Amino acid sequence: MDLSKYKIEGSNQVYYIPEFLTRDEEIYLIRKIQESPRQSWKELANRRLQLWGGQLTSKNILMPQPLPSFATTYPDIIPRLQSTGVFSASAHQAPNHIIMNEYLPGQGIMPHQDGPAYHPVVATISLGSHTVFHYYRYKNLDEGPELVSSTNGRIIDTTPSLSVLLEPRSVVITTGEYYETRLHGIQETKEDNFIATDGMIAPRLAGLDVEIANWKLLGSNEVKDDVLNGGTLERSVRYSLTCRDVENVANLRTLLARK
Ligand SMILES: O=C(O)CCC(=O)C(=O)O
Ligand SMILES: [Fe+2]
């Protein structure tokens, strides 16, 4: 697959592919998720999630479990992600782990980094609803006194450095410094309002007043019209599949050594 045409302008290491899954595949996956037993969910304070492919130990070793057939076979998400080439240098040349997050309207995820357990590539598939995904950078120590928020003692610049509108069925692939040195997050809002431009320059997200960096790559004409004409998109329930390759996987030898 020629990924270069999906590169988001202004990023050089983030790719956006609309319609990565078909509508039928999306409907099937959402049905499988909604049919899953209550105990397969992990409840967090402000959202819930499932782990597909196993749990990580405190030392970042994956205790592997088979991925469900609705990730490997129908739809064949794993081979499809492999065909993009972004996992060709990872330990298993394929994602072996998926975090499936559920977001109700008004739910989001605080700016964070994904950490060292994974090969530094993440593919995030959206189902059911759009969202707006922001990348943030840390401030340099010499940049201004307005200390707004921090993690690990470092100050996060609260103005996103890149903002991407994720349509249902799309995948966004984060690599390079966007994985290794930036943070990412989703704001807790029930709707997204856009500021129209003349169609020659990027439309903007109201409130934060940042550009929608992937506006030229959007797949749905309805979404594109809304975004370009200063419309509003209401969020509905979104399921996201965060697909990564965990480098260290437990085998019999590592299991015995743990004792
Ligand atoms: O749901 C998303 O789009 C992002 C999820 C995420 O960042 C994570 O699970 O680490
Ligand atoms: Fe993340």
Quick one: pLDDT at residue 140?
80
Quick one: pLDDT at residue 115?
83
In this prediction, the answer to ipTM > 0.95 reads yes
User: CB burial class (10 A; 0-12, 13-18, 19+) of residue 3?
Assistant: middle
Measured from the Cβ of residue 234, the count of other Cβ atoms closer than 10 Å reads 10
Output Rg (C-alpha) for the chain, integer angstroms: 19
CB of 124 shorter than 6 A to ligand 1: yes
Query: Which atom of ligand 1 is the closest one to the Cα of 49?
Result: 9
Which of 242, 243, 244, 246 most suits a substitution to test ligand 1, by most atoms within 8 Å of the C-beta? Answer: 242
Measured from the Cβ of residue 85, the count of other Cβ atoms closer than 10 Å reads 12
Which helix (H) or strand (E) covers residue 51, if one does?
Answer: strand 48-52
Question: Model confidence over 134-182: pLDDT tens digits?
Answer: 999 998 876 655 555 556 678 899 999 999 999 999 999 999 999 999 9
Would you give the end-to-end CA distance of the chain in angstroms? 45
User: Which residues have beta carbons under 5 A from ligand 2 (an ion)?
Assistant: 114
Contact 167, 217 (CB under 8 A): no
Quick one: pLDDT at residue 102?
98
Query: Which atom of ligand 1 is the closest one to the Cα of 101?
Result: 1
